């Protein structure tokens, strides 16, 4: 791998020069590579041929996954082979929404030393009790952030989390993510977290109305730098559904009803987020300015029956009137999966909650897309050759609400199954990650179901396939150097 000389600032933060704590030291390799290390983590520096590496698993030798000179694929496979089933189960989790500092009610609520934040005396950038639990006990490494007090607090919190994780287990860092933060309404949930201190742009249809993919690419090149300054390295976007159902409440966030326009806009969006500038590139377009793009919602969430949305049971079906299914997948297969830049394709994909009604002509199932082996394996993986991360939409394995209009779990088509059975069905469909699940228990139960049906070797290999995909999204941006 071609390497470049960079001064790696902790979390690649705009505020990092003010954030280096006394317990953080930096070391410089012969090549000029700078590593940040938490003095309290127990991690030592290994020297090989003048280069320096972090001994993340503290075994006294340089393992392939710790060697930042090696190709991404080799590092990811080595680390996946060293992980326990429990650690891989944790890697498969994607947290419920987290605000910084933690709120006192609702999703992401938290305490600090068993006290609400307002009574705790804790810094806003401190890690909550609940966050420490899912990071340490459940081995969770993918965190979804919503509101943050300020950009500086977000950067400090990210540094605190990476310092905390460096000394745990194999030293796998957190991959923090966000839904879109740059919409022009500064009080909306996600950009309100930056206090409005972030570039503000039109969203969805308004951006599409510019008919200018170059402008969209420029926007996301700028937004990628802002995300990295906040400690965010995965974007749960863009939304490249077609706006074919004007009654759908999420239509404001799509680019258009035109497959060709959405294809062009979505492609530009992903290129802008994932492709680092030449001075920041590590390899194949990935680098210190890159943010993983998770495109959504495969295979197109726009044609909601009656305009009702899949967040609720009353909107569980996508019906594709006019038999235009191929139009809805075009922005994925001909756009996000066929980039012009070195990153080649979107790093991750999110299936929508909906049941793609009567589209499965192999297994003849009507289940939510995240549960469907036909939608994920037969189409996405095999027919269209996508081998990146597939992550469920949030809470599809959770029980549904008491009425069709109750906002709760979204287990469409699998309502009669247990939570663990739903996790197993998701795994067997070919999905890698469970959105909105902080606990690895159900994933481990699903693993045992697979062992009983197919044997230990089969399930271990199944887990490692997902682990490699997930870890590649870490190593592409080289966390081993950028983060402590």
State pTM to two decimals: 0.93
- Is residue 185 very low, low, confident or very high in pLDDT (cuts 50, 70, 90)? low
pLDDT digits (tens, 9 = 90+) for 40-58: 899 999 999 989 999 999 9
The whole-number pLDDT of residue 482 equals: 43
Q: Closest by alpha carbon to 311, among 320, 301, 319?
A: 301
Whole-number Cα distances in Å, 409 to 25, 296, 316, 418 = 44, 19, 12, 12
Q: Which residue has the tokens 């080595």?
A: 78
3-state DSSP assignment of residue 142: strand
Q: What is the mean pLDDT of residues 311-321?
A: 95
| Bridge partner list, 235 | 178, 293
Q: List pLDDT tens digits, range 150-168.
A: 889 999 999 999 999 999 9
**pLDDT higher than threshold 90 for residue 477:** no
Q: What is the 3-state secondary structure (H, E, C) of 354-380?
A: CEECCCCCCCCCCCEHHHCHHHHHHHH
The pLDDT of residue 203: 83
The pLDDT value given to residue 188 = 57
What per-residue confidence (pLDDT) applies to 200? 82
Percentage, residues of the chain above pLDDT 90 = 77
Question: Does 20 score more than 70 pLDDT?
Answer: no
Give CA separation, 202 vs 176, 179, 180, 184, 185, in Å: 24, 15, 11, 6, 9
Going by their DSSP bridges, the two strands 434-435 and 93-94 should be labelled as parallel
Residue 337 phi, psi (nearest 5)? -95, 0
Q: Encoding tokens for residue 347?
A: 């790093």
Query: Considering only CA atoms, which of 389, 398, 402 is closest in space to residue 437?
Result: 398
Q: Which two tokens stand for residue 109?
A: 């609520």
**How many Cα atoms within 13 Å fall on the side-chain side of residue 24?**
22
Of residues 339 and 14, the one with the higher pLDDT is 339
pLDDT digits 0-9 by tens, 189-232:
544 444 557 888 888 999 999 999 999 999 999 999 999 998 99
The pLDDT assigned to 16 comes to 39
| Distance between CA atoms of residues 405 and 416, nearest Å | 18
Mean pLDDT of 411-437: 98
Tell me, what's the pLDDT at 183? 80
Residue 263, φ and ψ in degrees, nearest 5:
-60, -45
* 127-155: pLDDT as tens digits: 999 999 999 999 999 999 988 888 899 99
Residue pLDDT, tens place only, 251-266: 999 999 999 999 999 9
37 and 173 in contact (C-beta within 8 Å)?
A: no
CB of 329 closer than 8 Å to CB of 299: yes
**What integer is the mean pLDDT of 270-278?**
94
Handedness of CA 242, 243, 249, 252 (dihedral sign): positive
Helix, strand, coil percentages (3-state) for the chain, rounded to 5, are 40, 15, 45
Does pLDDT of 461 surpass 90? yes
Three-class SS of residue 148? strand
Instruction: Give the number of C-alpha atoms closer than 13 A to the C-alpha of residue 452, restricted to the C-beta side.
Output: 7
More confident: 482 or 295:
295
**Does position 89 have pLDDT exceeding 80, yes or no?**
yes
pLDDT (average), residues 451-475: 97
Q: Taking residues 382-408, what's their average pLDDT?
A: 95
Mean predicted lDDT score pLDDT of the chain: 90
Please work out, in degrees rounded to the nearest 5, the angle formed at the alpha carbon of residue 359 by the alpha carbons of 294 and 260: 50
> Which whole number is the average pLDDT over 272-287?
92
Contact (CB, 8 A) for 107 and 96: yes
pLDDT band at 475 (very low <50, low <70, confident <90, very high): confident
Structure tokens at 317: 């079906």
* Mean pLDDT confidence for 246-250: 93
């Amino acid at each position: 791998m071609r390497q470049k000389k960079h001064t790696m600032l902790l979390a690649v933060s705009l505020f990092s020069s003010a954030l280096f704590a006394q317990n953080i030291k930096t070391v410089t390799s012969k090549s000029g590579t700078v590593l940040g290390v938490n003095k309290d983590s127990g991690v030592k520096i290994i020297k090989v041929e003048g280069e320096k590496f972090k001994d993340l698993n503290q075994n006294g030798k340089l393992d392939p996954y710790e060697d930042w000179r090696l190709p991404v694929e080799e590092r990811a496979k080595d680390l996946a082979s060293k992980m326990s089933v429990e650690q891989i189960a944790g890697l498969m989790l994607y947290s419920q929404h987290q605000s910084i500092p933690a709120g006192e009610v609702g999703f992401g609520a938290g305490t600090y030393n068993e006290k609400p934040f307002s009574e705790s005396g804790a810094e806003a950038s401190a890690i909550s009790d609940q966050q420490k639990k899912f990071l340490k006990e459940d081995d969770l490494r993918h965190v979804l952030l919503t509101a943050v007090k300020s950009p500086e607090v977000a950067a400090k919190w990210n540094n605190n989390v990476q310092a905390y994780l460096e000394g745990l287990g194999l030293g796998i860092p957190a991959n923090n993510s966000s839904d879109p933060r740059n919409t022009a309404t500064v009080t909306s949930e996600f950009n309100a977290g930056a206090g409005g201190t972030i570039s503000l742009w039109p969203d969805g249809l308004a951006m599409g109305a510019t008919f200018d993919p170059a402008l969209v690419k420029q926007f996301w090149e700028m937004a990628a730098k802002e995300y990295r300054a906040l400690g965010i390295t995965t974007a749960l976007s863009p939304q490249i559904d077609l706006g074919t159902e004007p009654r759908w409440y999420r239509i404001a966030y799509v680019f258009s009803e035109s497959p060709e326009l959405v294809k062009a806009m979505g492609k530009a969006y992903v290129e802008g987020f994932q492709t680092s500038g030449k001075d920041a590139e590590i390899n194949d377009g990935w680098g210190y300015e890159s943010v993983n793009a998770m495109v959504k919602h495969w295979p197109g969430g726009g044609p909601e029956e009656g305009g009702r949305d899949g967040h609720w049971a009353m909107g569980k079906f996508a019906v594709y009137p006019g038999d235009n299914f191929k139009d809805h997948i075009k922005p994925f297969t001909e756009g996000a999966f066929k980039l012009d830049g070195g990153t080649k394709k979107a790093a991750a994909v999110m299936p929508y909650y909906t049941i793609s009604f009567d589209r499965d002509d192999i297994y003849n199932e009507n289940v939510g897309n995240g549960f469907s082996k036909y939608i994920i394996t037969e189409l996405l993986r095999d027919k269209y050759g996508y081998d990146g991360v597939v992550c469920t939409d949030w809470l599809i394995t959770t029980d549904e609400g008491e009425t069709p209009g109750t906002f709760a779990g979204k287990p469409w088509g699998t309502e009669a199954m247990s939570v663990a059975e739903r996790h197993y069905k998701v795994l067997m469909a070919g999905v890698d990650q469970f959105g909105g699940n902080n606990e690895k228990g159900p994933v481990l139960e699903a693993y045992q179901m697979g062992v009983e049906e197919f044997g230990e070797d089969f399930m271990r290999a199944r887990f490692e396939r997902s682990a490699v995909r997930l870890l590649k999204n870490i190593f592409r941006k080289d966390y081993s150097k950028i983060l402590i």
